[in-house]
């Protein structure tokens, strides 16, 4: 049987590289009690209220979920001051990225993103047969002037992960609004705020603040990071109702499962757990930055739950040496930073273990 050919833009795709699982490290290296600081997960885990809500949803697994996500949308609206018709729910915020590209991008059309940034943007554009226009960061921050200069009549979407992954930097509100003034009406700007809850800079533009003011702006958020629900895959987009209606046309029925809906609703109610997560993260960022600077490392200011660290040496070797000590981090060579690593803020004891192991490795 002959298998049909696929286009070159599909066959040339490289699968997304996930972080190394803890179980794999235990198998390969025989390490006991490893810690994972590589995937920007919440070290506290999900809210106990979210776990209980998920448990209560289990007996109803024979029923299809609420395809509209009515109750979750109501809680998001109350929290952010947006309208239900501005919301689209997704199986993670990746789902929203996919919807936007499927609706607005065709072969020959262009999408602008930065380099480095979230790898999924470029992959999904390539799947759609679109053209990726990639603009290098300037001083580790989105170069909004160069992005505006790159816009052509074929441009349809600009993706800005804000804060940026892997640099943990943010753009300024005035710079973003200057970008909007320079853009033609046919270009959608996506502010991917997967880490927005962690931002301490009041001058950082948030995606949910703009759809009422400028219909071209789409904001994305996720429950995977600050709310600790990465395993359930639930996210959402805030946008002009016209764009939302188009995305709902390509959205799969029941794309957010019933357990995820229940857990996300409860997670929004548990403000105490979110505040505990933010305090833990901010304290960890400040402590780690202070100690790493003492070791002579370059540390980017963190507006997320992770840090980009310049080790001053081959990051891949540092990564491998840390694995042998039972600490999973991320080497940033694939992002164009051969001497940098990225680490997620963990529990205080995990941060201390990282520092001890890292100190041994670099010395």
pTM of the model: 0.92
pLDDT for the residue 32: 75
- Residue in the block written with tokens 């972080």: 19
User: Which is nearest to 16 in space by CA: 92, 94, 90?
Assistant: 94
Q: Which CATH number is 48-269 given?
A: 3.40.640.10
Asked whether 269 and 49 are in contact (CB, 8 A), the reply is yes
pLDDT for the residue 1: 57
CA distance 37 to 279: 18
pLDDT for the residue 148: 98
Given a cut of 70, the residues of the chain with pLDDT beneath it are 1-2, 13, 16-22, 24-27, 29-30
Q: Which CATH number is 8-46+272-362 given?
A: 3.90.1150.10
pLDDT for the residue 254: 96
Residue 192's contacts (CB-CB under 8 Å, 6 or more residues apart) are: 93, 97, 118, 159, 160, 161, 162, 207, 220
Provide the terminal-to-terminal Cα distance of the chain, rounded to the nearest Å: 58
pLDDT for the residue 226: 98
Burial of 32 (0-12, 13-18, 19+ CB in 10 A): exposed
Question: Distance of alpha carbon 329 from its chain centroid, rounded?
Answer: 17
For the chain, which residues make up each domain, given as ranges?
A: 8-46+272-362, 48-269
CA distance 29 to 116: 31
CA distance 248 to 103: 10
Asked whether 256 and 87 are in contact (CB, 8 A), the reply is no
Residue 70's contacts (CB-CB under 8 Å, 6 or more residues apart) are: 84
Q: Would you state the structure tokens that stand for residue 316, as one six-digit string?
A: 């891949």
CA distance 243 to 106: 17
Residue 20's contacts (CB-CB under 8 Å, 6 or more residues apart) are: 36, 38, 323, 328
Residue 212's contacts (CB-CB under 8 Å, 6 or more residues apart) are: none
């Amino acid at each position: 049987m002959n298998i049909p050919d696929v286009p070159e833009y599909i066959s040339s795709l490289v699968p997304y590289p996930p972080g190394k699982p803890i179980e794999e490290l235990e198998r390969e290296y025989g390490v006991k009690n490893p810690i994972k600081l590589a995937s920007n997960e919440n070290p506290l885990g999900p809210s106990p209220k979210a776990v209980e809500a998920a448990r209560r949803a289990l007996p109803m697994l024979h029923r299809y979920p609420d395809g509209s996500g009515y109750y979750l949308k109501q809680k998001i609206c109350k929290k952010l001051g947006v309208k239900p018709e501005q919301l689209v729910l997704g199986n993670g915020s990746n789902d929203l990225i996919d919807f936007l590209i499927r609706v607005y991008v065709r072969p020959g059309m262009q999408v602008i993103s930065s380099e480095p940034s979230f790898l999924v943007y470029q992959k999904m554009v390539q799947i759609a047969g679109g053209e990726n226009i990639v603009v290098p960061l300037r001083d580790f921050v989105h170069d909004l002037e160069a992005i505006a200069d790159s816009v052509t009549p074929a441009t349809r979407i600009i993706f800005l992960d804000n804060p940026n992954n892997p640099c943990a930097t943010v753009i300024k509100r005035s710079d973003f609004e200057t970008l909007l003034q320079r853009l033609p009406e046919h270009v959608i700007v996506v502010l991917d705020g997967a880490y927005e809850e962690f931002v301490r800079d009041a001058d950082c533009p948030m995606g949910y603040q703009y759809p009422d003011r400028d219909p071209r702006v789409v904001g994305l958020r996720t429950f995977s990071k600050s709310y600790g629900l990465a395993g359930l895959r639930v996210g959402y987009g805030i946008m002009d109702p016209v764009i939302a209606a188009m995305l709902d046309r390509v959205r799969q029925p029941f794309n957010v499962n019933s357990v995820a809906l229940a857990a996300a609703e409860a997670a929004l109610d548990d403000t105490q757990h979110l505040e505990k997560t933010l305090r833990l993260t901010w304290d960890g960022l400040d402590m780690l930055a202070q100690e790493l600077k003492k070791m002579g490392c370059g540390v980017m200011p963190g507006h997320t739950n992770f840090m980009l660290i310049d080790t001053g040496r081959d990051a891949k070797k540092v990564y491998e040496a840390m694995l042998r000590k039972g600490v999973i981090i991320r080497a940033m060579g694939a992002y164009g930073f051969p001497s940098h690593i990225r680490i997620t803020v963990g529990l205080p004891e995990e941060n201390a273990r990282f520092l001890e192991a890292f100190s041994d490795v670099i010395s």
